[in-house]
Structure 1
């Protein structure tokens, strides 16, 4: 069974091991989300919040599990985290898969792509 969930701060070891094995940066102070298939980690994301603005540090899914919606799920968990915690804006450095972020509604602002969290939920079109 596939699960996407937030990783409590005290349980970040699994995220750190995944990052080390896949040679990607890890921030012990970031908010982490994880995609699990049983005990197998398929992907992770990390979000750093400073001064009321969130920055996406990484969204990474193992190559063999890409194009299955896990990256979208991790991004939506980050957006939802910000919404629930009254964080108005999320930014990500340009050059980190810009097309992926623009597809969701991120817009260019200097060296970042930025998403207005409230506008994202206001403009969300649900299919009936």
Structure 2
């Protein structure tokens, strides 16, 4: 907000070495400045509140990202474990076929397929 004409006159006269402002004029200018500061204080408070909200949102986003990363790590671990177990099962099946022949394996495979 632009200062009123008297406040500008007092400030200009004082800064140019002109006549000194009276105490009443200075008090009026001070009251004008206080009035201009109130909206600025409200704006600063509003910005500080918004900053606090944004900081809380950022903390929540970091927590969510950490949880997502942990889920990714857990899924990768499960995948490795499953692959290792499945590879072991394939080795057991191959050994069974080598030991007992394909004819012995067919009923096992049929039972497995039937359960699916």
TM-score by length of 2: 0.19
- Considering fraction of residues, name the structure with more helix: 2
Pick the structure with greater CA Rg: 2
TM-score by length of 1: 0.18
